[in-house]
Amino acid sequence: MEIRSKVALITGASSGIGAATARMLAAEGVKVGLAARRTERLEEIKNEIIAIGGEAITIQMDVTDMNSVQEGTNKLVQAYGTVDFLINNAGVMYLSEVENLRIDEWQLMVDINIKGVLNATAAVLPLMTRQHSGHIVNISSYAGKKLAKGLSVYSATKFAVSAFTEGLRMELGPKYHIRTTVIQPGAVKTELFDLIRDEQFKQEILNSRSGVSFMTPEQLADTILFALKAPEKVNIAELFAVPVDEAW
C-alpha cells in the first residue's frame, strides 16, 4: 500500500520505538504528529525530520487525559486534515512481584498502557469511520502473550492491549475497512528498563537477558512499516518479533 502523504499520530514519540517510527515514516513521506509529554525532545525530533525534507508537528499530550488526547488530535487534523495511522506506542513497564504491593505502579501501568490506548483510539475513530479507512497499530509486548514472575500486572495490561486490538479488527475491518495490528516485541533497547524501581528485580531481569542481542527501536519501526505497507486489503493482524537469541 502507498503511504506517502498519509498522516500519522504517534504517541510516546519522544524516544525509543515511537521516535524511530516517526523518523522512518517521515522518510517515507508520511506527515507525522509527534505526541508525548516531553515537548523539548519532540522539537528535536521534528527538526531532524524537517532537515531530511519531511513534515511533522509536535503535540504535547498526556494519553491518560482524554481532553489532552482530543486536543492533540484536533491539532493534527487542523494541520494536515485527517489521521490515517494511529501508532499507540506510549507505555510504561514497572516490574515487581505482586506481594510487594507497588500499587502506584499498577495504577500507572493501567492508566498509560490500557487507558492511553483507549483514549487515543477514541479520538481518531470518528475520523477513520467517516473516511472508511485507517490503520491502528498498538504496541503490546511478548508479555502480552506469555507470563513470567514479576510481570503479572504489566502482562495484564499488555494482554488487554492484544485483546482490544483483536476486537477492533473484528468490529472495524468488515464495516469500515479499518486495519488493526498488534506488535508484540521481545527485548528492545529502550528506556523501559530504566523505569523499573524494584532494584533487586531489575537486576534479576537484566541478568536473565545477559547474552541476548536486544533489538533496536529502528528494527521495531521497520516492523511497523511492514504492517502499514501491506496490500490494501490485507490486514497484518499480529506481529511477534523477538531477538533470535532470546529463549524466554
List the catalytic residues: 154
Q: Which residues contact 39 (CB under 8 A, 6 or more apart)?
A: 58, 60
Please, what's the b/e burial string for 33-59 (b: 16 or more CB within 10 A of its CB; e: otherwise)? bbbbeebebbeebbeebeeeebbbbbb
CA gyration radius, the chain:
17
Residue with cell 531530511: 52
C-alpha cell, 172 = 472495524
Longest Cα–Cα distance of the chain, Å, equals: 52
CB atoms within 10 A of CB 3: 16
